[in-house]
Amino acid sequence: MGMTIAQKIIKMHLVDGTMEKGTEIGLRMDQTLTQDATGTMAYLEFEAMGVPRVKTERSVAYIDHNTLQSGFENADDHKFIASIAKKHGIYFSKAGNGICHQVHLERFGSPGKTLIGSDSHTPTGGGIGMLAFGAGGLDVAVSMAGGAYYIPMPKMVRINLTGKLSDWVSAKDIILKVLSILTVKGGVGKIIEYAGPGVKTLSVPERATITNMGAELGATTSIFPSDEVTKEFLKAQGREADYKELSSDSDAVYDEEYDIDLSALSPMAAAPHMPDKVKTVEEFGAIKVHQCCIGSCTNSSYYDMMKVASILKGKKVHPDVSLVISPGSKQVMAMLIQNGALYDILSSGARILECTCGPCIGMGQSPGSGEVSLRTFNRNFEGRSGTADAQVYLVSPETAAVSAINGCFTDPRTLGKMQHIKMPGQFLIDDSMILKPAPEGQDVEILRGPNIKPFPIGEPLPENYAGATLLKTGDNITTDHILPAGSKLLPYRSNIPYYSNYCFANVDPDFPKRAKECGGGIIVGGTNYGQGSSREHAALVPLYLGVRAVLAKSFARIHSANLINSGILPLVFSDPSDYDKINQGDELFFPNLKKEVEEGQTITILNKTTGQTIKAESGVSGRQRDIILAGGALGNAKKQS
């Protein structure tokens, strides 16, 4: 029996377990990346391991999230990351050099390699044929220290692409179509592989847009073949030596297959407040638009920016619309300046932002109250933009640009014949803002600002446990719900005590106070609890507040792993209808908690308030069981040392 692309890469990097679906496997990571919103914590955890030098082929620390320096906090964090990178063998990409996923694709991504990053959109690397995973900072720290990255062996899904995109239809429309088919839960426990003759019609940046938003499917990762298109991209980046051909075997077996005819697609959009609420732009009609944002790690490539420039050239942004554009990297910005496209963009009345994530994580450019914002980003969760009642739609760069001109939702096909953009034969290469680490053994001072606080350490699992139901949530709770981002709070990502005051701020502002008064307790959730960002703060902050377990109908993969690493037990209702047997404030008792976890038994929970008994499954592997028993991954590592 043949193998898929992902199975081939897994086989080459397998260091623990067997490739049996659903069982836990450990993979060797060739590369790692961090960004500054999660990086400080990841490097504090790496320090705690006592490893003097990273053991990966290449590790890179990017500054791309918290670049707004309205106080000392972000600047101090950047200095800390720069110094620790210099000391421990990590390359450092300075603020302004670009968004981690865009720069990594340009300068470091390599077909057939494995990559783990402390950002949920690390699967962007799948666009160049990498097996790339988003994870919590501790998993990244372990990988930098030479340890394996563990996941359940995923199912394999093949999406066959046929035909060719029509004018004004783009890669964003492909992934929105996939989201309309699979939903935000449809990729859980699966690797999405794109195949078929339509693949060769897509450039690497287009492929990367699709794999980037595979995170919104809940997928373990997504991947494209590495072919002549990949080779030409790497050659244009001066990295042809990194090319490796990758394809699935003709007799590879997939668990699911879907067919998408690219020529039948129309411009699509996702309505507030979830990426799978998809309809065609035509179906939405001429909704009045107040803001358009183009950029983020999803649609900020040179290819995307040139398409936008061609639409804006000689035209003006509607007087009632704010159009903001953030190129994905210094390379992209420099090439737009060099060929005059930036002039076309500026002349239209667009605002140019720094080469950072920016508005995508609520770091500035929040819409006005109740306003409609079209964004080429990957998420439109409620409140993520920084404005609680904003109506955020996800669209392609083409749709955003033409809508900004007309002042209302507009199908870009109304523009007539499209100017086709060619990929450059040679990109402008300047790596001067990527600093190399110091030689091994050189003395480097680690710079720590006063905002960097120690991270919480969990306690070993007790024999039994009693606690209050601190919060009961509905379905699809995101990490943005658990811990908001934005310009006001992101500077405190390395200060867990301060950040804890905003846990579930957009769901129940009284949660932190209640958790402290109760001395901790349990959270009850619905399906797909913890979807979205890989931020391990969504586990570390509840840990700091004394949360011992989260009981839900189902979990997002990364968040479940982060809870376990932090020492919080993720439990799944044996019978989902038992969710209705618990109310916020109910006292829950786990009479045989430690024994049942140790022996892999169903967990018994007594609702002391109602007198009812509830059953739950821990679903942890033997390795994860040891972590939970020890009170978290760091506690387990110290126990074994």
Residue 390 lies in a domain: yes
Residue 453 lies in a domain: no
**What is the rounded CA–CA span in Å between residue 5 and residue 279?**
31
From 230, 249, 264, the end of a domain falls on 264
3-state secondary structure of 516: helix
**What is the rounded CA–CA span in Å between residue 591 and residue 326?**
54
The active-site residue, picked from 101, 207, 379, 559, is: 379
Q: What is residue 619's predicted lDDT score, i.e. its pLDDT?
A: 87
Longest dimension (CA), the chain: 72
Are both 77 and 226 inside the same structural domain? Answer: yes
**What is the rounded CA–CA span in Å between residue 215 and residue 219?**
6
CATH code of residue 598: 3.20.19.10
Are both 20 and 162 inside the same structural domain? Answer: yes
3-state secondary structure of 569: strand
Residue 448 lies in a domain: no
Q: Is 379 a catalytic residue?
A: yes
Q: What is residue 641's predicted lDDT score, i.e. its pLDDT?
A: 44
Which residues make Cβ contacts (< 8 Å) with residue 638, sequence separation at least 6?
none
Are both 219 and 273 inside the same structural domain? Answer: no
The active-site residue, picked from 535, 537, 548, 557, is: 535
Residue 449 lies in a domain: no
DSSP annotation of 531 reads B
Q: Is 64 a catalytic residue?
A: yes
Residue 436 lies in a domain: no
Q: 137-144 and 36-48 are packed helices; what angle lies between their axes, rounded to 10 degrees? A: 50
Are both 177 and 70 inside the same structural domain? Answer: yes
Amino acid letter, residue 242: D
> What are the φ and ψ backbone dihedral angles of 56, each rounded to 5 degrees?
-85, 170
Are both 256 and 290 inside the same structural domain? Answer: no
Q: Is the peptide bond before 273 cis (omega within 30 degrees of 0)?
A: yes
Are both 180 and 112 inside the same structural domain? Answer: yes
**What is the rounded CA–CA span in Å between residue 10 and residue 26?**
9
Query: Other C-beta atoms within 10 Å of 163: how many?
Result: 15
Amino acid letter, residue 231: K
Q: Is 500 a catalytic residue?
A: no
Q: How many domains does the chain have?
A: 3
* Residue the block writes with tokens 């609890």: 529
Are both 188 and 274 inside the same structural domain? Answer: no
* Residue 119 domain boundaries: 5-264
**What is the rounded CA–CA span in Å between residue 550 and residue 471?**
10
**What is the rounded CA–CA span in Å between residue 151 and residue 116?**
12
The active-site residue, picked from 30, 36, 64, 77, is: 64
From 380, 400, 415, the end of a domain falls on 415
Residue 450 lies in a domain: no
Are both 253 and 338 inside the same structural domain? Answer: no
From 204, 231, 264, the end of a domain falls on 264
**What is the rounded CA–CA span in Å between residue 83 and residue 77?**
10
CATH code of residue 46: 3.30.499.10
Angle at 34 between CA 30 and CA 37, to 5 degrees: 165
Q: What is residue 363's predicted lDDT score, i.e. its pLDDT?
A: 83
The active-site residue, picked from 30, 76, 119, 139, is: 119
Are both 59 and 205 inside the same structural domain? Answer: yes
Low-confidence ranges of the chain (pLDDT < 70): 636-641
Are both 222 and 77 inside the same structural domain? Answer: yes
The active-site residue, picked from 13, 28, 30, 65, is: 65
Are both 187 and 290 inside the same structural domain? Answer: no
DSSP string, 123-191: GGGGGGT-EEEE--HHHHHHHHTTPPEEEEPPEEEEEEEES-PPTT--HHHHHHHHHHHH-TTTTBTEE
Q: Is 65 a catalytic residue?
A: yes
pTM: 0.94
Residue 42 lies in a domain: yes
**What is the rounded CA–CA span in Å between residue 191 and residue 183?**
15
Residue 444 lies in a domain: no
DSSP string, 85-129: HHHHT-EEE-TTSB-HHHHHHHHT--TT-EEEESSTTGGGGGGGT
Are both 226 and 325 inside the same structural domain? Answer: no
3-state secondary structure of 622: helix
Q: Is 533 a catalytic residue?
A: yes
pLDDT in tens, 12-32: 999 999 999 989 999 999 999
Q: Is 494 a catalytic residue?
A: no
> 140: closest CA among 561, 606, 631, 438?
561
The active-site residue, picked from 322, 326, 373, 533, is: 533
